[in-house]
Amino acid sequence: MPAIERIDTFIVDVPTIRPHVLAMATMHAQSMVIVRLTDSDGVEGIGEGTTIGGLSYGEESPESIKLAIDTYIAPVLRACDAAQVGATMAAIRKSVRGNHFAKCAIETALLDMAGKRLGVPVSELLGGGRVRSALPVAWTLASGDTARDIEEGEAVLAQRRHRIFKIKIGKRAVADDVAHVGAICKAFAGRASVRVDVNQNWSEAQADLGMGMLHDVGVDLVEQPVARDAVDAMARLSARHTVPLMADEALNGPRSAFRLASSAAARVFAVKIAQSGGLLAGGEVAAIAAASGVELYGGTMLEGGVGTIASAHLFSTFPELSWGTELFGPLLLTEEILSEPLGYADFELAVPTGPGLGIALDADKIAFFRRDRTAPVVHASA
């Protein structure tokens, strides 16, 4: 059996093209944990573990992801058959609780290896295989400045890159946020879908007021307006309002998906491979949604190229993807860490057809952006 012989983990810090303002943090750079596995047959696989704003978004940070892999997951990996992805991940889950982002990075690398070993894309290892070759991609307007957001939206529309806009709100008073969003809705009426993400920053009373006002100004979707554990409040808001409520932070794997679906707490699920604990668990979340009549959106943790394309492989297998995806993470960064940029064109992202993830790291960019720049250069993965 092929055994894992080398496990490389390192953090890369890449600046963003502009400040990215969220309710819980303002990002000026993205920190990504890159994993590279090499087995005894010489097959390599890459994965990514990325979160937002250090520990301001959730319980894992880039530093804790790397620590979990190096200290607790690596010994389990070395004892497993690298070709048996499901069995290997089951062994990791038995030994390591939680740490979904770290597990997702490892599973992504294992699936990349499996696809290369078999000569097929990762999408063909998931569910029934891909049903689409490209995915609609939203762009997040998060400068916080109305005129700047409209100018930015016009630019990406003209480039035929995005016609779905998500606006980050929740830091200002509800009425001020609605005025900001309403101006953007008016600017793009009939040309783009406008959604908002509150990132859990409203109380139920604020959400009740805000969702009604946002519907009136033309918003199509409201993402996670209240705290992730406020499932009853989400259910009440979903029952009261016409504009759909989308669950994001409330989703952290199949069990949470089942609870949300059975409680009618959301009409849309934002599936994220990292929050779910990997691509396989993300597929289970999507299956629960489909069986429950909940619509799907392909979410992001603002990953770089590796995590973005891993998500794209999974999302390409969803029979229905009513709300598109948000896989714009690499476009928010000043530099691409892949040897070839991902294919964004005509408002969509192309899903690679090569073996595994179908991508490779840019060795020079990785060496430059590594936090530990004195470490050996990681060569591009084939």
Catalytic residue numbers, as ranges? 168
Q: For tokens 């092929």, what's the residue?
A: 2
- Identify the bridge partners of residue 295 per DSSP, sorted by sequence position: 268
Three-state DSSP at 363 gives: helix
Burial class (CB in 10 A: 0-12, 13-18, 19+), 86: exposed
> How big is the chain, counted in residues?
382
Q: Is 42 left (phi over 0), alpha (psi -120 to 50) or beta?
A: left
Number of neighbouring beta carbons within 10 Å of residue 119: 10
Q: Please report the DSSP string for 101-143 in residue order.
A: HHHHHHHHHHHHHHHHHHTSBGGGGSTT--S-SEEEB-EEE-S
d(CA 103, CA 304): 17
DSSP character for 47? E
HEC readout, 7-37: EEEEEEEEEEEEEEECCCCEEEEEEEEEEEE
